[in-house]
């Protein structure tokens, strides 16, 4: 207990950024800078704004006039409606899909982070044979295309693995289960998680770990009481990253969970709306914004961790 208390204060200081950066005196640029930024931001926003506006327009108008025409008379009541949101929530079965997405996304974020944090600690601060080779292997696996792994794993889930007539991997019957999706997302997320977290955890000052050892702390205590609290920015950063990726994933959920109405996640429900209704633009727009809402909320509330944590390892030099 005393170990963490003693070391927390002096260590937290250099890791928290000293200055917010906004207080610097103005340097050159001025109008040029502001206009360039404004132009890029506008270009980046146009596609999203188009959908946002369309999602509040009546079906007949969405399908016959461009969304920008709504801006010409913004105060006419006839050109706005919330019917699209009501309809897509009612007919699309989005409530259930939202729950399924949560059940997939939260464990698929927490499990890889936990496993990767332990591994990153071991790769950084524990001595064992094969440490270097294993880490290089993990980094190498960053490049395996996800699509390449889907089929063998699906077969593993539904049939197990047989090599030379010998059952080397049991048939776990994991197809169409949440556990199957969690494990798959964990597998695909681990290389990046270990890579990022090792960069961060490995760059923590070795002096604190050495002195904790001298005080008699074992590896588990050092990890849990010292490393994890110090790595909150990096952990939060990867958490957002992984959450965005899992929430927006279509392929993994489709292959391992399937597209049944009972089990489908939000992205699949959205895709079904596209497939089943073809050119029904007015429902698609509202559905797209419903599926975006949670990631946007997560991003806006946690983005300060994201910026700080992700780069902490890479900007060390």
Partner 1 sequence: MSDVSTSTDDPEMGAEVAQEPPSGSGQVVWVTLLRIVGALGVPIVGFFLLWATFDYLKNEDANRGLVVVVAIIVGAGGVFLLFWAMDRVVDLLPERYGEGVRPYVFVGPALVILAVFLVYPVINTLLISFKDANSDSFVGLENYKFVFTDSDMLTAIRNTAGWIIVVPIFGVGIGLAFATLADRLRRGEAVAKSMIFLPMAISFAGASVVWNFIYSFRPEGFGSNIGLLNGIMIGLGQNPVSWLDQQPWNNLMLMVIMVWMQTGFAMVVLSASIKAIPEEIIEAARIDGASELQVFRRIIIPTILPTIAVVTTYMVINAMKVFDIVFVMGNAELRGTVVIAERMITWFFIRDHDGRAAAIAVVLFAAIVPVMVWNIRRFREQELTR
Q: Please report, as residue ranges, which positions from 53 to 112 form the binding site for partner 1 (by CB under 8 A).
A: 54, 62-68, 96, 99-100, 102-103, 106-108, 110-111
CA distances from 81 to 62, 77, 284 (A): 11, 8, 15
Residues 198-257, interacting with partner 1 (CB under 8 A): 202-203, 216-221, 223-224, 244, 247-251
Nearest to partner 1 of 230, 310 (CB atom): 310
Binding mask 9-48 for partner 1 (x = CB under 8 A): --------x---xx-x-xxxx---xx-xx--xx--xxxxx
Rounded least distance, CB 74 to partner 1, Å? 17
Dihedral through CA 98, CA 100, CA 101, CA 105, nearest 10?
A: 140
Residues 150-169, interacting with partner 1 (CB under 8 A): 150-153, 156, 161, 169
* 267-274, Cβ contacts within 8 angstroms, sequence gap of 24 or more: 267/101, 267/291, 268/97, 269/92, 269/93, 269/94, 269/97, 272/92, 273/88, 273/92
Per CB under 8 A, the list member of 60, 72, 78, 143 interacting with partner 1 is: 143
Per CB under 8 A, the list member of 162, 173, 210, 261 interacting with partner 1 is: 173
* 98-101, Cβ contacts within 8 angstroms, sequence gap of 24 or more: 98/266, 98/290, 100/257, 100/263, 100/264, 100/265, 100/266, 101/247, 101/265, 101/266, 101/267, 101/294
Rounded least distance, CB 310 to partner 1, Å? 6
Tell the burial category of 254 from Cβ atoms under 10 Å away from its Cβ (0-12, 13-18, 19+): middle
Handedness of CA 261, 263, 264, 266 (dihedral sign): positive
Number of residues that bind partner 1 (CB under 8 A): 131
Nearest to partner 1 of 82, 307 (CB atom): 307
In the chain, how long is the greatest CA-to-CA distance?
Answer: 74
Distance CA 158, CA 148 (A): 17
Nearest to partner 1 of 65, 207 (CB atom): 65
Residue 162 sits at φ, ψ, to 5 deg, of -120, 125
Rounded least distance, CB 181 to partner 1, Å? 10
Distance CA 17, CA 300 (A): 20
Per CB under 8 A, the list member of 12, 71, 82, 134 interacting with partner 1 is: 134
CB neighbourhood size of 249 (10 A)? 22
Piece of the chain touching partner 1 by CB under 8 A; list 6-14, 49-57, 70-78, 85-93: 49-57
CA distances from 120 to 51, 126, 200, 203, 208 (A): 41, 10, 9, 11, 17
Piece of the chain touching partner 1 by CB under 8 A; list 5-13, 74-82, 85-93, 290-298: 290-298
Rounded least distance, CB 91 to partner 1, Å? 17
Rounded least distance, CB 291 to partner 1, Å? 6
Rounded least distance, CB 129 to partner 1, Å? 9
Nearest to partner 1 of 19, 78 (CB atom): 19
Binding mask 298-317 for partner 1 (x = CB under 8 A): xxx--x--xxx-xx--xx-x
- Does the protein bind partner 1 through residue 122 (CB under 8 A)? yes
Distance CA 213, CA 3 (A): 9
Here the tokens at position 15 are 């890791």
- Does the protein bind partner 1 through residue 1 (CB under 8 A)? yes
Per CB under 8 A, the list member of 11, 87, 89, 274 interacting with partner 1 is: 274
């Amino acid at each position: 207990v005393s170990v963490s208390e003693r070391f927390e204060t002096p260590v937290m200081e250099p890791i928290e950024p000293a200055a917010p950066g906004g207080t610097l005196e103005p340097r050159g640029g001025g109008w040029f800078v502001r206009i360039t930024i404004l132009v890029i931001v506008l270009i980046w926003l146009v596609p999203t704004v188009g959908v946002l506006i369309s999602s509040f327009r009546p079906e007949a108008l969405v399908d016959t006039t461009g969304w920008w025409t709504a801006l010409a008379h913004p105060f006419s009541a006839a050109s706005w409606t919330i019917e699209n949101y009501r309809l897509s929530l009612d007919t699309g079965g989005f409530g259930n899909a939202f729950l399924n997405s949560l059940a997939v996304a939260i464990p698929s974020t927490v499990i890889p982070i936990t496993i990767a944090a332990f591994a990153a600690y071991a790769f950084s601060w524990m001595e064992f044979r094969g440490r270097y080779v294993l880490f290089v292997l993990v980094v190498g696996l960053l490049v395996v295309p996800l699509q390449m792994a889907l089929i063998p794993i699906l077969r593993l889930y539904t049939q197990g693995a047989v090599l030379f007539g010998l059952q080397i991997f049991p048939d776990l019957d994991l197809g169409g289960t949440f556990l199957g999706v969690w494990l798959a997302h964990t597998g695909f997320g681990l290389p990046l998680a270990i890579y990022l977290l090792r960069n961060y955890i490995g760059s923590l000052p070795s002096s604190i770990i050495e002195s904790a050892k001298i005080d008699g702390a074992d590896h588990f205590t050092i990890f849990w009481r010292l490393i994890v609290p110090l790595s909150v920015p990096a952990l939060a950063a990867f958490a957002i990253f992984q959450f965005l990726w899992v929430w927006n994933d279509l392929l993994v959920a489709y292959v391992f969970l399937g597209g049944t109405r009972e089990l489908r996640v939000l992205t699949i429900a959205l895709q079904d709306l596209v497939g089943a209704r073809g050119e029904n633009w007015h429902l698609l727009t509202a559905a797209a914004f419903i599926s975006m809402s949670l990631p946007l909320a997560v991003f806006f509330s946690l983005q300060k961790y994201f910026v700080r944590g992700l780069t902490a390892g890479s900007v060390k030099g």
